[in-house]
Chain A
Amino acid sequence: MARIVLVFGHPRQDSLNAALRDRAAASLRDAGHHVDVLDLGAIGFTPAMTPAERAAYHTPTPVIDPVVAAHAALVKRADALLFVYPTWWSGLPAVVKGWLDRLMVPSVAFSFDDDNRLVPGLRNVRLIGGISTYGSPWRYQQLVGDNGRRILHRTLRTMCARRCRRRWLALYTLDTRTREECAAFVDRAGRAVVRWAAAL
C-alpha cells in the first residue's frame, strides 16, 4: 500500500486529461494504494510564486501559504509523485510549474547542512510518474526536448530517492486521435499506473 500524490494540471473537467486523472486514481485505489489528488485548477491554486513567497525564500520560514504547507506535508510522506497534464510549448502548463516553484523550497525539497551543502529533502519519493498529452508528434518532442518531462524526471528527481524510478506515458498528435484511440489510452493509463506502483 503506497501513498501517491497525483498532481493534475488541466483546466477543464471534461477533458481527456481529467479522464486520465480519474482512471489513474481509481485504478490505484482499487489496487489498494492511497491517492491524494491535487487538482490545481479546481482548488484555485495560485499559479506563480508571489512576491511575499520570494522574499521569504531564504528565511527560516519559506512556506507561508497554508495550501502550499498542506501539499508539502503530503509530498514529504509520499512514496510516489504522479503528474497528469497537457504538454504546452513542450513543457508543463504554468500552474504545474508554479506548483513546483512554490512548493519545492528550502525545508521541503531540500535543505542546507552545516557546511552549507545542499541536502535533498524528498528521499521518500521513489517513483516519479507522468501521463501527458501532446499536440505534436513524438519525433518533434525529441527534437525540442520534451521539457516538462525533463524537469520532472531529471531536475525534480535530484531531490528524490537515489534510485527513484521514472515512468512516462504519452499520447502524441492529440488532434488527430479518434474517440476510440483516446478511450484506449485511458485504459492503458489505468493499467500502467498500477504496474508502476506495484513495486513501491
Chain B
Amino acid sequence: MSDHEYTPTSKAGKWFNDRLPLLTLANHLTDYPTPKNLNYWWTFGGILTFCLITQIVTGLTLAMHYIAHADMAFESVEHIMRDVNYGWLIRYIHANGASMFFLAVYIHIFRSLFYGSYKSPREIIWIIGIIIYLLMMAAAFMGYVLPWGQMSFWGATVITNLFSAIPLVGEGIVTWLWGGYSVDNPTLTRFFTLHYLIPFLILGLVVLHIWALHVPGNNNPVGIDIKKPSKDTVPFHPYIVIKDGFALLMFMIVFAFFVFYTPNILGHADNYIEANPMVTPAHIVPEWYLLPFYAILRSVPDKLLGVVAMLSAILILAVLPWLDTSKIRSAVFRPLYKQFYWILVADVLILGYMGAMPAEGLYLLIARVATAYYFLHFLVILPVLGFKEKTLPIPLSITESVLGGSANLATAKHKESFDK
C-alpha cells in the first residue's frame, strides 16, 4: 500500500491514527483505484459481504431463542416462528439468506472463471476463496441440521456416514463425529457450536481475501493489467460504492420476494416433520446449493471413490490457476474457451438437477456423463486449450478498448503506428 502520506485532518484523529492507523486504512479503502470498466458481475463481492453480515446478525438473534437439544429444537423453532416478536421474519431471512448467499457465491465464482480472475498474480485470493466456499458449505450443512426435521436428521446421517468410507479409521471417525452410535443429541449440540463459530472464521478469511486483492488490485472484463491510479481507474468511493449499492438493492428485491412471498419454496416439506430415527424419508435431498456435489457423489458406485470424487470436484478448483495454461486472462479474447465455459455452466446445472432426482435409470446415466465431463473440463480441456487456442488480440488499455469501439480496432491502430 502506497498511501503512507495520508494525514488525518483533526488533531484527535492524528493522535488516534498514530496509535492504530484505522483512518489511514479508511482513506486507502476510499481512494482504492478500481478499474472503471468493471461490469455488474463485479458487484457480487459486495453483495456477499452483505449476505455474511445478514446471516451473522439474524443468526445471533435466532440463537437467543433457539434450544440446541434434540427434544426441544423443533419446538424452539416453532416458538420463534409463533411467539418471538418478528421471529418469523428473522427465521425466514436466515433460511432464505443462506440460499441467497450461495446464489451470490456461485455467480461470483463463475465471474472469476470467465474473466480469469484466478490467474497470476491472484492465485492466493482464489485459494482463500475456495476455503471460504468450503466453510460456507460446512456451515450451511450444519445449520440445516439444527431445526431437527426429517431432512435435518437424515441428511446429517447420510453425510456423516460418508466418513466411514475412509479405510481403517473411518468407523472411528464417524463415531467421534456423532458423539454416539447414531446422529443424536450430542451431534446436534456440537453442530450448533460449530455453526456459530464458522461464520467468524469466514469473516477473518474474507478480510484476508480482500487484503490479498488489494495488492494487485481488481481484475477487469478485458483482463489486462492496468496502472493504478490512472485514467483507467476510479476511486472506490463514491464510484464503486454507489454501483455496489445499486446492485445490492436489486439483489435485496429478489431476496425480499422469497422471504415475504415464497419463504419455503427453496426448502423441503419433509423438514417440517419432526426428526424420526425409525422412518427414512422417501427421497433424501440436500438443499439446492449442494445438489451438484450430491450428484457427483452418487455417480460413483463405490462408497470411498464417491467421496473422493465429490471432494476432488471442489479441491480441483484450488489448482485451477495451474491447470489453465493460457496466457490470456479474459474469455472475451478466448473464443474457444468461452464455448467450453458455457458448456461447463450447463454441465453444472445438469449435475444440480440430477442431484435432486433419484439416482437410477436415465438420471444416473446423465449424472455420470456430467461428472466425467466436469473433470474432463478441468484436467484435459483447460490445459490443452492454453496451448492450442488461437486467442484474439488484447487491447493495450481499458480507455482505448472503450474508445476504439472494439478491442481489435484499438490494437490494429496500435499495430499501424508501430509498423510505420
Q: Do A and B come from one complex?
A: no
Residues of B within 8 A of A (CB): none
